[in-house]
Structures are given as C-alpha cells and as structure tokens.
Amino acid sequence: MHAPAVPALVTLHLWRVPGRRVPGAVARMATHRSRLRRTAGLTFGKLLGTGHGRTFTPRDADPYRWGLLACWASRAHADDFERSGAVRSWRRAADEEWRVELRPLASRGRWAGKAPFGDPAPTAWDGPVAALTRARIAPRKAATFWRAVPPVAADLRTHAGLLAAVGVGEAPVGLQGTFSVWRSAEHLTSYAYRGNAHVDAIRQTGRERWYAEELFARFAVLRSAGTYGGRDPVA
C-alpha cells in the first residue's frame, strides 16, 4: 500500500467579519463546501469555525472569525485559488485576513479517516513552526475531557515562544482542534514535552481514551501575510 502523498503546500486562511456579516459567513460555511469539492488541485480542505480554545465548549466559539485549511497538489493550484470566487467572497465580507503557507514536517493520525498531510520525511527547519492538533471526542468522554482542558489552554498561552494560537473546529462540540505558531521548533517541543499541564494531558489521553479519532501535525511556516488580531504574528 502506498503512503499518502505529502501535499506540495498547505494553507490556512482566517477571516474576521463584522457583526452585520456573521449571517453571511455562516451561509458561506454551508454553500462553499460544494465549491471546495470542485476546486482543482485541492487534495484536502476543511472550512472551520474558530474559538478561544479555553474550554472546547460552545461558549468558546468566535462567531466573527472563520477559517479554511487546504492541502494543495502544487503551489500553482494554491495561487489559482487565491483568485477564485470563493476567496473573493470572503474578502468582500471580511475586515481582517490572515493567510499562512505551510509545509508538513511531521504528521500522525487521521482526519475524517484520511491522512491529509501524508508521512513527511524528517527535515530540519530553522524558522517558525506551526502545530495542528485535531480530535473527534468520544461522546461518553466529553465531560472528563472538558474538565481537563482549562489548565492546558492556560499553559499554552503563557508558554515562551508562542506567536499565535486559535481554537478551530468543524462543529461547536466534539470535533475540535488547536492551531498554534511558534518562534522555533525548540519552543514547540518545550511546550509539548516539558509543559506540566500538557504532559499531564498526554498521560490522561492514554488513560481516559478521550478521542475517537485524532491527528497531530507540525509544519514549517513558509510565509505569513495579513494580520490576526491586528498584527502579523510571524513578522
């Protein structure tokens, strides 16, 4: 069996819309799914809601910020998509946009039964790195999971080297993740394996079996454009 292909490029868009345009953003989340399926060169794509990632419950949700994670067969396909009607539609609605270009460095696990980032060969990278964690929470384990989240989220936001972090998900509850950007791989590794709250959560994950499906991926940050919260986190 062939290993899943590593995408040539991964992009993440985050758009912030004013309050009067929230209904239109919600509508785009439904209508643009079919557009994505017809997009040339898109090997995997997910429209995402966002949140603060403090409790992973509906009260975390940010109705003003929406996202798109996309994997591309080539940079040319990604560039073509930037000129598409879907992206123009979001830009007309948004008052802020942040776009990050990524290259997979490591990935394990599944997302909707797929390995969207393939199995990248180990590669050294000296610049900023990003991490994506995504999980489908087993319903019977949701309560214990939610109780464990606040210390981990608090530790994340105070850890040295963190440039940005946003909760992402395909639904208000149950399909959850975090996208974070770090000054270096060393800073990310320090948080992942030496942060007390995060290490404790890893132990609990094995013991409690919180997840019905999970994915962890690390990326080289190739380019950052636009702003998130009024600034470019990577600048």
The SS3 assignment for 3 reads coil
Is 71 contained in some domain?
Answer: yes
CB 79 within 8 A of CB 207: no
Residue 99, in any domain of the structure:
yes
Is residue 46 within 8 Å of 144, Cβ to Cβ? no
Provide the CA 182 distance to its chain's centre, in angstroms: 13
Longest dimension (CA), the chain: 50
Q: Is residue 235 part of a domain?
A: no
Residue 232 domain flag: no
Is residue 82 a part of any domain in this protein? yes
By CB neighbour count within 10 A (0-12 exposed, 13-18 middle, 19+ buried), where does 132 fall? buried
- To which H or E segment does residue 203 belong? helix 196-208
pLDDT tens-digit map of 141-177: 555 555 555 555 666 677 789 999 998 988 655 457 8
> Which pLDDT band holds residue 37 (cuts at 50, 70, 90)?
very high
Alpha helices in 68-184 (DSSP H): 75-82, 85-93, 142-158
Residues 50, 170: Cα–Cα separation, whole Å: 9
Beta bridge partners of 84: none
What pTM does this model have?
Answer: 0.86
**Domain assignment of residue 1, yes or no:** no
| Beta carbons within 8 Å of 209's beta carbon, 6+ residues apart | 138, 141
Q: Write out the residue range of the structural domain in which residue 61 sits.
A: 9-226
In a domain, 199, yes or no: yes
**Range 28-51 average pLDDT:** 94
Residue 3 lies in a domain: no
Number of domains composing the chain: 1
Give the number of other Cβ atoms within 10 Å of residue 127's Cβ: 11
CATH number at residue 182: 3.30.70.100
pLDDT value of position 208: 47
Confirm if 70 and 48 have CB atoms less than 8 A apart.
no
